[in-house]
């Protein structure tokens, strides 16, 4: 049982004399995912329990099971910026993706939940800003010290750049950190970064000894990826298609295709990593015509998901042919949708 005293939650689930172990699962290789974990941990320590000890674990969309029940081994287990789990071990959940539930049963389970610790709103641009709002309104948390982090997660996750050129120039600290997070060199990098996101400025984090040396080679890689995408991307009937599965480019800047083809409305890209083949489906934030196709719904048909304006599908690394087939079907569907509007 627990009670709320002056907005601070006091529980009796842990014996006195030891700190609370909180395990936070977040959308890995994602600026909003890392920022959501950072803001949640700061909120939790300030408004729930001061002596909490946090462990951060990244989750990635992949073919097959997304969760391992044995990993939910904290006194509290939270999931942020990722799909819902009906496990009784999950005590906190925040998400803003339209495709938040793996099944109707999961959605029904969420609707029945009365814990006041699980929250969902697909209208928010970022999960970080969603957590900030809930934490402030329901638990008395002050998000002012992290307002720059919240603002930039909305810009980056909501594609709120003024134009495509701004989105690919990588001038702002938040954009550089996004590039580093998406290309994280090892599994411990982002968990080590998350506590800094909760306490330091984005510019200061870039100067950290374990971050600063990564930037020059990543910026060179960014320039190379632009050249590769320039060669590979084709735009027909308002829809870009490219295949870079033979390149180490899963972490490419997703706005580059729209910078190269400003006339585009949609894009479909194939990329590959050590554990998956990914079909990325997006829409141009600066498109000459308003995108009308719900991309999350398309991706859901293939086991993926996302938002109305951007989504993705993950295939097993040995399902390359299936990924190609799905990408071609989606490209044809989007190009047909664009043609039908011109008739």
Could you tell me how far CA 115 lies from the centroid of its own chain? Answer: 25
Tell whether the model's pLDDT for residue 54 goes beyond 60: yes
% pLDDT > 90, the chain? 87
The pLDDT value recorded for residue 188 is: 94
Segment 230-254 shows an average pLDDT of: 93
Quote the pTM value: 0.84
Which segment of 180-189, 255-264, 294-303, 331-340 scores lowest on mean pLDDT? Answer: 180-189
Tell whether the model's pLDDT for residue 6 goes beyond 70: no
Average pLDDT value for the chain: 92
- 2-206 against 224-342: fold identical: no
Tell whether the model's pLDDT for residue 125 goes beyond 70: yes
Question: Which secondary-structure segment (H or E) carries 68?
Answer: none
Long-range contacts of 154-160 (CB under 8 A, 24+ apart): 154/125, 154/126, 154/128, 154/129, 156/31, 156/32, 156/126, 157/31, 157/32, 157/125, 157/126, 157/127, 157/128, 158/125, 158/126, 159/255, 159/285, 159/309, 159/310, 160/125, 160/285
- 52 contacts 9 by C-beta, under 8 angstroms: no
Tell whether the model's pLDDT for residue 10 goes beyond 70: no
Segment 118-133 shows an average pLDDT of: 97
Give dist(CA 27, CA 66) in Å, integer.
11
Q: How confident is the model at residue 17 (pLDDT cuts 50, 70, 90)?
A: low
The pLDDT value recorded for residue 61 is: 80
Tell whether the model's pLDDT for residue 4 goes beyond 70: no
pLDDT tens column, 150-181: 999 999 999 999 999 999 999 999 999 999 99
The pLDDT value recorded for residue 342 is: 79
Residue 246 CB-density burial (10 A; 0-12 exposed, 13-18 middle, 19+ buried): exposed
Q: How confident is the model at residue 15 (pLDDT cuts 50, 70, 90)?
A: very low
Residues β-bridged to residue 313: 279
Q: How confident is the model at residue 11 (pLDDT cuts 50, 70, 90)?
A: very low
Give dist(CA 260, CA 133) in Å, integer.
36
Segment 259-288 shows an average pLDDT of: 95
2-206: CATH number: 3.90.1640
Q: Could you state, in order of their start, the residue ranges of all structural domains in the chain?
A: 2-206, 224-342
Between residues 170 and 343, which one has the greater pLDDT? Answer: 170
The pLDDT value recorded for residue 184 is: 82
The pLDDT value recorded for residue 211 is: 97
The pLDDT value recorded for residue 19 is: 84
Tell whether the model's pLDDT for residue 9 goes beyond 50: no
Residues 6+ apart with CB under 8 A from 150: 35, 39, 126, 128, 129, 132, 143
Which segment of 134-148, 150-164, 241-255 scores lowest on mean pLDDT? Answer: 241-255
Distance in angstroms between the alpha carbons of the first and the last residue of the chain: 62
The pLDDT value recorded for residue 332 is: 98
Residues 6+ apart with CB under 8 A from 51: 19, 20
Tell whether the model's pLDDT for residue 102 goes beyond 80: yes
The pLDDT value recorded for residue 183 is: 87
Segment 259-276 shows an average pLDDT of: 95
The CATH topology of domain 224-342 is Diaminopimelate Epimerase; Chain A, domain 1 (3.10.310)
Q: How confident is the model at residue 64 (pLDDT cuts 50, 70, 90)?
A: low
């Amino acid at each position: 049982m627990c009670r709320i005293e002056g907005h601070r939650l006091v529980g009796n689930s842990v014996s006195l004399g030891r700190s609370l172990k909180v395990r936070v699962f977040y959308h890995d290789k994602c600026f909003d995912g890392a920022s959501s974990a950072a803001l949640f941990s700061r909120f939790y320590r300030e408004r729930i329990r001061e002596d909490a000890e946090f462990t951060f674990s990244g989750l990635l969309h992949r073919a097959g099971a997304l969760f391992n029940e044995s990993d939910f081994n904290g006194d509290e287990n939270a999931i942020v910026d990722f799909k819902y789990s009906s496990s009784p071990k999950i005590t906190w959940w925040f998400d803003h993706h339209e495709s938040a539930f793996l099944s109707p049963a999961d959605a029904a389970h969420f609707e029945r939940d009365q814990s006041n610790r699980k929250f969902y709103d697909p209208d928010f641009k970022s999960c970080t800003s969603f957590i900030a709002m809930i934490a402030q309104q329901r638990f008395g948390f002050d998000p002012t010290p992290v307002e720059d982090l919240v603002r930039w997660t909305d810009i980056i996750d909501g594609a709120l750049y003024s134009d495509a050129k701004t989105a690919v120039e990588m001038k702002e600290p938040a954009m550089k950190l996004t590039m580093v997070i998406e290309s994280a060199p090892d599994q411990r990098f982002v968990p080590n970064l998350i506590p800094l996101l909760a306490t330091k400025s984005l510019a200061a984090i870039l100067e950290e000894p374990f971050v600063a040396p990564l930037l020059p080679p990543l910026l060179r890689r960014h320039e190379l990826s632009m050249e590769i995408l320039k060669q590979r991307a084709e735009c027909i009937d308002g829809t870009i298609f490219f295949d870079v599965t033979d390149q180490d480019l899963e972490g490419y800047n997703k706005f580059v295709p729209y910078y190269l083809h400003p006339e585009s409305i949609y894009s479909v890209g194939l990329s590959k990593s050590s554990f998956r083949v990914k079909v990325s489906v997006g829409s141009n934030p600066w498109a000459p015509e308003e995108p009308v196709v719900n991309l999350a719904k398309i991706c859901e048909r293939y086991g993926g998901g996302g938002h109305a304006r951007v989504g993705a599908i993950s295939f097993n690394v040995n399902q390359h042919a299936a990924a190609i087939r799905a990408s071609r079907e989606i490209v044809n569907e989007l190009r047909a949708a664009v043609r039908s509007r011109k008739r």
